[in-house]
Structure 1
C-alpha cells in the first residue's frame, strides 16, 4: 500500500477541505443544539475541542494515507523550534499593529475605554489565546499553510502556491460563514480571508515553519475578538473601522517586512520544493527494483 500510486493533487486537497468543512459545520451544529446559538464559554470551548480532535487527525491521516509523506514535511518542527517560530509569528502581527494602534489613539482617531477589571482583561487574553489556538489557529494553519501549501509548493513556485492556498482558504472560510450567517457576509469575508491567507502564506514561505503562521493567527484573532467582541471583556471603542484599519490594515501591510528581519536569509519564491516520500516508501520502492 505504501508504494501504491497516490490520488492526484486535486483529489487529495478536495478530500481534506471537504472533510474540514464538514467537521466545522458538524461541530458547530452539535454545539448549537447543546447550548443554543448565543455566545457562551461552554459553546466556545466545546467548538474548540471538537474541531481540534477531529481536524488535526484529518490532516495527519491525509498526510500519511493520501500523500504518503511525513508529518514533519508540512513544516511542523520540534517543540523548541516551534516555540521560537510561534513567538516570531506573534511579533509579525503585534509589532506593526501596536504601532498603528498607538498612532491611532495618540491622534485621537479612536478612544478605547475599559469597563472591566484589569485582571479580567488579563484572564480574557489568556483564555482566548488557548481557545483561538485550539479552535482556529493550529487546525486552520495545519490544513492551509501546512497541507495545502506544501502540496502546492511541491509542484509549483511558492509564490503561486501562496496565491493558490489563499484562494482556497477564502472560498472555504467564506462558505463556512455564509452557511452559518447568510449571504450578507460574502464580500466582507471573501476579501478578509484572501488578504489574511496571502500574508500568512508569505510568512510560511519566509519562516519555513507553520508555527510562525500559528503565532500570527493567534495574535490577530485574540486582538480582534477582544476589541470587537463584548463577551469576555467590556471595551468601548469609539470608531471600530478606524481601529481595524490602524491595526489589521497596518499589520497585514508590514507583517512580511517584519518577518524578513526575524527570519533572515534568502527566501525561495520561484522554485518548486519537491516533497520526498517517507524513508520506508523509498526503501520499499528500491527493494521492488
Structure 2
C-alpha cells in the first residue's frame, strides 16, 4: 500500500489529543450518566477498561491511516511478543525504589500496612487489578502519549523537549476530563509523565512505560482505600499520605527514571567500545 505525505504535525497531535480527551470524558462521565447505579463497582470498571483499550487502538489506527498516512508499524511501538522483557524492566524500575520507600516509611513509623485478606484473595485481587489497570490506564495511555504523540513530536524536536512536551500534554489531558482536582495532582501527573517519557526515550519502546505504569497503578489502587472494589477489606493502611508520596511517587519516579537513563547511557558506551 502506498502512503502519502502526512498532514501537518500540529493537526496530528491536536486531533489525537482531542480524541483522547473525548474518549475519557465518555468513559468517566458518560458511563455515569448511562449507568448511574454502577458508580465505581467492578462492572463499571471493567466496561471502562475494555472500552478504553478498544477506543484508543481504533483512534490511533485511524490517525495512522488518515493523518500520518503511514502504517502502524512506523510508530515503532515494538511487538508484544518481544515487549515482555521491557514490560518487566518497567515494573522493576518502579518496584525497587518503591520497596525502598516502603521500608523507609514503615521503619520511621510514618505508615503502617496490614494485609487482612488471605493469600488466595490477595493474589486473585492483584491479578484482576493488573488486567484492569493494563486495559484502562497503562496500555491506552502509553499508546497515546508515549507512543503516538512521542513519536510524532520526535520528528521535529529533540528528545528532552519531547519528554517535557508529552508530559505537559499528559497533564493537560487529565485536567480536561476531570482527573485532576488540585495542584498536587498536577505535579503528580507531570512528574509521572516525565518518568514515563524517560522510559520511552531510553528504551525506545512503550512497553517499558506500560510496565512502570502498571506497577504504580496497581500498588496505588490496592493500598488506597476506596479506589477500587477489588481491594476492599484486603488491607488496612495507616499513614496512606506519606506512603503514597514517598514510596509510590517521589522515589520511584525520580530513581526509576534516573536508573533507566543511566542504564541506557552505559549500554551505549559499552556498545560503542565493543564496536571499536
TM-superposition CA deviations, 1:229-286 (whole Å, max 9, x none): 342223221111210122121101100233246555239xxxxxxxxxxxxxxxxxxx
Gap runs ≥5 in structure 1:
179-183, 268-289
- Following superposition, the deviation at residue 5 of structure 1 comes to 4.0
- Following superposition, the deviation at residue 117 of structure 1 comes to 2.3
SS at structure 1 position matched to 2:114: strand
Counterpart of 1:158 in structure 2 is 159
Q: CA RMSD in A?
A: 2.0
Does the CA contact (< 8 Å) of 1:174 and 1:193 recur in 2? no
- Following superposition, the deviation at residue 40 of structure 1 comes to 0.5
Gap runs ≥5 in structure 2:
270-276
Does the CA contact (< 8 Å) of 1:90 and 1:216 recur in 2? yes
Counterpart of 2:20 in structure 1 is 20
TM-superposition CA deviations, 1:89-140 (whole Å, max 9, x none): 1111011101110222123221112232222111111011000101111111
Does the CA contact (< 8 Å) of 1:76 and 1:82 recur in 2? no
Normalising by structure 2, report the TM-score.
Answer: 0.88
Is 1:87 equivalent to 2:88 in the alignment? yes
Distance change in 2, residues 1:95/1:166 (3 Å): same
Does the CA contact (< 8 Å) of 1:113 and 1:237 recur in 2? yes
User: How many Å separate the matches in 1 of 2:95 and 2:72?
Assistant: 29
- Following superposition, the deviation at residue 142 of structure 1 comes to 0.4
- Following superposition, the deviation at residue 30 of structure 1 comes to 4.3
Is 1:217 equivalent to 2:219 in the alignment? no
User: How many Å separate the matches in 2 of 1:14 and 1:252?
Assistant: 27
User: How many Å separate the matches in 2 of 1:176 and 1:189?
Assistant: 13
191, 200, 203: which one pairs with 2:199? 203
Does the CA contact (< 8 Å) of 2:198 and 2:261 recur in 1? no
SS at structure 2 position matched to 1:7: coil
**Pairs within 5 Å for 1:38-77:** 38-77=39-78
User: Which range moved further: 115-124 or 70-79?
Assistant: 70-79
Counterpart of 2:118 in structure 1 is 117
Is 1:232 equivalent to 2:230 in the alignment? yes
- Following superposition, the deviation at residue 175 of structure 1 comes to 1.6
TM-superposition CA deviations, 1:123-182 (whole Å, max 9, x none): 11101100010111111100000011111111110110011111111000122126xxxx
SS at structure 1 position matched to 2:268: coil
TM-superposition CA deviations, 1:212-231 (whole Å, max 9, x none): 01000000100000011342
Is 1:36 equivalent to 2:34 in the alignment? no
SS at structure 2 position matched to 1:23: helix
Counterpart of 2:251 in structure 1 is 250
User: How many Å separate the matches in 2 of 1:168 and 1:46?
Assistant: 25
Does the CA contact (< 8 Å) of 1:88 and 1:262 recur in 2? no
- Following superposition, the deviation at residue 37 of structure 1 comes to 5.5
Does the CA contact (< 8 Å) of 2:195 and 2:257 recur in 1? yes
SS at structure 1 position matched to 2:178: helix
Normalising by structure 1, report the TM-score.
Answer: 0.84
Does the CA contact (< 8 Å) of 1:85 and 1:211 recur in 2? yes
